[in-house]
Chains A and B, each alone.
Chain A
Amino acid sequence: MAITGLLLIAFLLMHMVGNLKMFLGPESFNHYAEWLKGEILYPIFPKGSFIWLFRFVLLASIVAHMYSAWVLTIRDRAARGSNYVVTKRRAQTYSARTMRWGGVILAGFLVFHLLQFTTRTFLTGFTATDDPYTMFVKSFSGPMSFMVILYALWLVAVCMHVRHAVWSALTTLGLNTSERARGVLNSLAWIVAVLLFVGFIAAPLAVMFGWIK
């Protein structure tokens, strides 16, 4: 759970940095997209092969993450047994409480995201042959773009999940060694979550306001 989750968060951070290349113009962004699909670790790996290894690891992480979550949930439900007539929640955060269903919602959004930008079966204002930069701009342009709102909602869900995840994963791996460490881990979780939100929403917002054309 913890290890696969951290791998996925590392991917998100990388993905975020990549998206920020939108601010460097079409050439930079398109070149980056080309490099992703073809030239990572070339020439030791043949062109276009490493991306499949990369995708396999990500997919395996997602599957393993969901499987662990499923097993843990079944076990925890059984362990809880009957419910209280009255329950007072005291320490738990909204993020912690919504990890399970939040995760399911994230998986749904992810499928949509891949259909939209990777396989290009679900076209949001662009054509299947557009280059990545144009695809990005056309998807998020226009005042009060519906796509930007949907994307922001998704990001809120992602970042809530990540907020509890960073703290929880590092605790599970034994890093919460003191009261002070607890503060540090919780701060780190907030920093990663906010960084991801700001980093991902920046380019779509810039497109919506017409700063990136």
Chain B
Amino acid sequence: MIINLRVWRQPNAQTPGKMVAYRVEGVSEDMSFLEMLDLLNEDLTVRGEEPVAFDSDCREGICGMCGVVINGSAHGRASSHGDVPTTTCQLHMRSFADGATIDVEPWRAGSFPVIKDLVVDRSAFDRIISAGGFISINAGSAPEAHSVPVPKLQADRAFDAATCIGCGACVAACPNGSAMLFTSAKITHLAMLPQGQPERYLRVKNMVAQHDAEGFGGCTNIGECADVCPKQIPLDAISQLNRDLLKSLFKGEGKTA
């Protein structure tokens, strides 16, 4: 396959970037999108040009490290064969036609400054998690699992929300640059479980405050985030966050929760 790429090149956060066209030859349809970028980078290196910087780690769709906007859609869901939710590393070149032109851009959001080319700084997510995305327990030997029963439906909902890999596609896709889907996934995950209850209402206040302090936008319930989410975190997670946030207003700093 031959692929015509238009890739966002930006040396650093201070310098303005632009789209640069490349022609990648010898692409196999079994390659992942990232392997195709590797191929481009090998070629660029041989030619003595600066390779395209992009994030990646596990390359099996579970770590949340990779992520670029492909043809205007985060992780390229719109291009994927069969329109399935995907991570960039799990999008394969068989989803594209031979000779196709593909636009590749970094996640764009005020709170995700570009570090270089397709790499953005997502440390704002870490600070949101630090603000409350945990439970305070003394570590030690694991307690007997059956000592704290969890209803099946709640356990399922907690697990579904916990599958969030923090890739940032929700922010990238949101017209408002909001990270509500990410934040609400953690809120919902912990709110469904007994272990999350003691800090439940304090957590939601602190995490939303940190979300806002990072400069993410407000949610207007449009739904672009959930559409591109590789883990399909549902929109109702955001409603769960709102519900808990409303309740927290009536609980003094969550202490009585």
Contact = CB atoms under 8 A, between A and B. Distances in A.
A90 B224 contact: yes
Given A85-B19, A91-B222, A80 B236 contact: no
A84 B177 CA distance: 12
A135 to B, nearest CB: 38
B33 interface: no
Contacts of B238: 171, 176
Interface residues of A, number: 35
Specify which of B175, B219, B228 lies most central, judged by the most chain A CB atoms within 10 Å of its CB. Answer: B175
A167 B110 CA distance: 27
Interface in A8-41: none
A99 B215 contact: no
A91 B105 contact: no
Contacts of B202: none
Given A83-B108, A179-B236, A182-B236, A76 B217 contact: yes
A49 interface: no
A177 B234 CA distance: 10
B183 interface: no
B239 A174 contact: yes
B221 A76 contact: no
A91 B217 contact: no
Contact of A79 (B109, B239, B243): B109
B242 A172 contact: yes
A144 interface: no
B236 A90 contact: no
A97 B6 CA distance: 28
A80 B19 contact: no
A73 to B, nearest CB: 9
A45 B178 CA distance: 47
Nearest to B225: A91
Nearest to A87: B72
A80 B72 contact: no
Interface string A76-117: 101111111111111110001101000000000000000000
Contacts of A182: 234-236
Contact of B216 (A79, A85, A97): A79
Nearest to A168: B221
Contacts of A174: 239-240, 242-244, 246
A176 B108 contact: no
B72 to A, nearest CB: 4
Nearest to A71: B218
Contacts of A76: 175-178, 217-218, 220
Interface string B1-42: 000001010000000000100000000000000000000000
Interface string B175-217: 1111000000000000000000000000000000000000111
B72 A88 contact: yes
The 8 A-B residue pairs with the shortest CB-CB distance, nearest first, are A174-B243, A79-B217, A79-B177, A176-B239, A88-B72, A81-B110, A76-B176, A86-B72
12 contacts: A79-B111, A80-B176, A81-B108, A81-B109, A81-B111, A85-B103, A85-B105, A87-B72, A97-B175, A168-B221, A171-B239, A174-B242
